[in-house]
Amino acid sequence: MATDKEKTKKLRQDVAPFAKSDTGKSVFQMVNTIVPLIVLWVAGYMLVDVSPWLTAGLSVISAGFVVRAFIIFHDCTHGSFFKSKKANDWVGLFTGVITSFPYEKWKREHTIHHATSSNLDKRGIGDIDMMTVEEYLEASKGQRLWYRFYRNPLVMFGLGPLYMVLVLNRFNRKDAKPKERMNTHITNVIIAGVCVALIYFLGWQSFLLVQGVTLFIAGSLGIWLFYIQHTYEDSYFEHDTDWDYVKAAVEGSSYYKLPKLLQWATGNIGFHHVHHLAPRVPNYNLEKAHNETPPLQTATTITLRTSLESLRYKLYDEERGKFVSFKDVNEIIKRKAKGSIAA
């Protein structure tokens, strides 16, 4: 029988052939993503005076293309979209401006996310904040209140996009190196220049209705995708001493099975377990890698309907190895309180 190490080696070998970019496919994906997005934005501005509601409807559609543009940006940060590093960097900068993400900053933080995903001892960079049950029970009332506020869906998917676009993406971390800092500043200046020009020539109301609505919805969808791909009942989490990269990828990342249209709009990122196992696989090869690698098909599958159940999962229970709700933890607190009184 093959050892775990041998199984891991074979799994990586099986996926390796898919970790090759195809310039033709990459260019075609840029054309069928960026061109429609620009057309939708132009049409949205042209139709503002005819019907603001029609413009808002186009902005909702535009949000899907922004999510798809982000996947291109995301692949560039992994160096998987083009063979050329320069091509990845330039396209990454361009799509970063479109999606409001600084390329070098996000590339470093996302690399850390991949190296520490599902590691309980290395949380904090590139992750959605998560407490374990034990940490929550030991926290002060103020800390619990803040965590409940943070994990509220209205905050996470409502205020979250605003915080991400206006604050998180605009400032460097203290440990950022000069190249990263400069890239963030350049991205900010370009974005600011484009925004000022659009507001000056087209008006702030039109700007908010087109760019504002588009980025807000795209941001909410992006946070949701990131949330659901790591937050489901039997997700894998371990402390550093027992943490395993392959288990973190295949058991700690879900397969989000979406309808074909949504799968296309989200650039196949629903095959997140494949992506975490082999980040150099470009998005257009993820489905093929999943279909042709049987061990990857054992990953937890989540559908649109079942994904909504994950909204109740707030804390990770290390003892049971699964996510639980605040209601579950409240029952634990009540039992402990009764036990203390009885004693």
pLDDT digits (tens, 9 = 90+) for 25-60: 999 999 999 999 999 999 999 999 999 999 999 999
What Å distances lie between residue 243 and 159, 228, 234, CA to CA? Answer: 33, 21, 16
Confidence label for 341 from pLDDT (cuts 50, 70 and 90): low
Identify the sign of the CA torsion 104, 105, 111, 114.
negative
Instruction: Give the mean model confidence (pLDDT) for residues 268-289.
Output: 96
**With pLDDT > 90 as the criterion, what percentage of the chain qualifies?**
85
Confidence label for 333 from pLDDT (cuts 50, 70 and 90): confident
- Return mean pLDDT, the chain: 93
The residue behind tokens 């001892």 is 121
pLDDT at residue 4 is higher than 70: no
Using CB atoms within 10 Å of the CB of residue 140, give its burial: 0 to 12 exposed, 13 to 18 middle, 19+ buried.
exposed
pLDDT recorded at residue 336: 64
Using CB atoms within 10 Å of the CB of residue 61, give its burial: 0 to 12 exposed, 13 to 18 middle, 19+ buried.
middle
pLDDT recorded at residue 2: 45
Contact 275, 253 (CB under 8 A): yes
Instruction: Give the mean model confidence (pLDDT) for residues 69-75.
Output: 98
pLDDT recorded at residue 13: 87
Q: List Cβ neighbours of 293 (8 Å cut-off, separation of 6 or more).
A: 11, 14, 15, 274
User: If we measure between CA atoms, which residue out of 326, 316, 332 comes closest to residue 152?
Assistant: 326
pLDDT at residue 316 is higher than 90: yes
Q: How far apart are CA 122 and CA 228, in angstroms?
A: 20
Confidence label for 1 from pLDDT (cuts 50, 70 and 90): very low
pLDDT at residue 192 is higher than 80: yes
Whether this model's pTM surpasses 0.85: yes
pLDDT at residue 343 is higher than 70: no
Contact 185, 116 (CB under 8 A): no
Bridge partners (DSSP) of residue 132 are: 316
Coil, helix or strand for 268? coil
- DSSP letter for 300, please: P
pLDDT recorded at residue 124: 82
Cβ atoms < 10 Å from Cβ of 160: 21
Q: How far apart are CA 289 and CA 278, in angstroms?
A: 10
